[in-house]
Chain A
Amino acid sequence: MINFIWLFFLIVGIAYAGINGRVETVTQSAISGAETAVTLAFKLLGVMCLWLGIMKIAEKAGLIRIFAWILGPIIRLLFPGVPKGHPALGAIVMTVSANMLGLGNAATPFGIKAMQQLQELNPSRETATPAMCTLLALCTTGFTLVPATLIALRSAAGSVSPAEIVGVTVLTSLVATATALTADFLFRLVTGRRRG
């Protein structure tokens, strides 16, 4: 799937530029894309170190286990393949909470940590498990209660009431997340593998 999409983007992009006599844009945009990726990774590097450092303290203090224990039963409904009390549950809880509070910066490191812990339960190294797909469904729809960045953007654009979209955003997020989780559940049933 991802192979096909990647190939599609490149082949169609290059062919389209070539047909329209703008083949030089391919070179530029490929190089600028590679540079953007490094810039993004560099920005991520700082927050990754910061939050995974803080999270290591939380882990060693036993906080993650407490988190997993309190909210685990709800999270476990979504992740039936993850054993009770597994540290991945704690990381998933932290990812979802950070997303809900609109802390995109912290949500990404937590989510990656959760992925790494789910990877430990993965029988094959390179294929995603159903639990990983569910986590991704939760994160791509990014359920948010406090869209702080957007409120700032709206006030900067001169909005009279920048926060008026908070209510509709929460509702929309809920619909998107519920749909993604339903789709994930159906795919999981169809593909049949319930393990992991």
Chain B
Amino acid sequence: MVSWLQDISVWIIPATIFLIVLAGFLRRVPVYEAFVEGAAEGFHTTIRLLPFLVAMMVAINVFRFSGALDECIAVISPLLSRFGIPPELTPLAIMRSLSGSGSLGMVSELFNTYGPDSQVGRIASTILASTDTTFYVLTIYFGSVGIRNPRYSVLVGLTGDLAGFLAAIYICKTVFA
């Protein structure tokens, strides 16, 4: 299982680049010029989304390191454990939507404390792998085109995160009973 998964992940990028460049050559695209043209677009886009990213990271950082986030977690945790949700996983559930590096750190810590093959370790792995960092994705994607009003998509993203969190717990408890 691991070996073919690794084979896929090793081959996929080289194969993609190879096929696209070859197809470009066969269709008489000036490949070098086309690449530079696309790269220049990528450059401008990334610069344009920087202000959005700074705004979001500053607010999330202040909220996180002031201790307010821990306070929220402390309030929510006992409520959730009443529904059979392990209290050691609640911090991860909240961090997952806010910060990618923060939740990666939390999962590593859970691995250290409980071990990657414990039930908590498995659930934490599944939560980390099955959803993306909603606020980061939202900021990057909408920032790149200058959208300032994301309408209902924050709620949609958070609903997906919540569903992923609950599904991870339920499915892991069923599969690894």
Contact = CB atoms under 8 A, between A and B. Distances in A.
Main secondary structure of the interface of A (DSSP, over half): helix
Given A9-B59, A45-B43, A144-B130, A136 B138 contact: yes
B42 A53 contact: yes
Given A22-B67, A139-B137, A180-B156, A159 B117 contact: yes
B22 to A, nearest CB: 9
A132 B147 contact: yes
A115 B126 CA distance: 28
Given A20-B67, A165-B122, A57 B59 contact: no
Contacts of B137: 111, 136, 139-140, 142
A10 B35 contact: no
B171 A168 contact: yes
A171 B171 contact: yes
B122 A125 contact: no
Contacts of A9: 59-60, 62-63
A10 B46 CA distance: 25
A54 B35 contact: yes
Contacts of A148: 5-6, 9
Contacts of B6: 148, 151
B43 A48 contact: yes
A160 B176 CA distance: 14
B58 A125 contact: no
Shortest beta-carbon contacts, A-B, top 6: A56-B38, A180-B160, A33-B61, A176-B164, A179-B163, A48-B42
B39 interface: yes
Contact of A150 (B16, B65, B68, B129): B129
Contacts of B92: none
Contacts of A115: 141-142, 144-145
Among B36, B126, B155, B172, the one with the most A-chain Cβ atoms within 10 Å of its Cβ is B126
A70 interface: no
A46 B122 CA distance: 33
Between B1, B37, B40, B116, the greatest number of chain A beta carbons within 10 A of the residue's beta carbon is seen for: B116
Contacts of A112: 45, 49, 140-141, 144-145
A87 to B, nearest CB: 13
A17 B155 CA distance: 27
Given A16-B71, A172-B126, A34 B159 contact: no
Contacts of A106: 13, 16
A45 B46 contact: yes
Interface in A52-69: 52-63
Contacts of B43: 45, 48-49
B65 A165 contact: no
Nearest to A182: B159
Given A38-B54, A119-B145, A50 B60 contact: no
20 contacts: A1-B154, A12-B63, A33-B60, A49-B40, A52-B45, A60-B34, A61-B20, A108-B140, A119-B146, A132-B141, A140-B138, A141-B160, A142-B131, A151-B2, A151-B6, A154-B116, A165-B125, A176-B164, A180-B160, A183-B155
B82 interface: no
A54 B42 contact: no
Q: Of residues A28, A112, A177, which shows the largest number of chain B Cβ atoms within 10 Å of its Cβ?
A: A112
Contacts of A41: 46-47, 49-50, 53
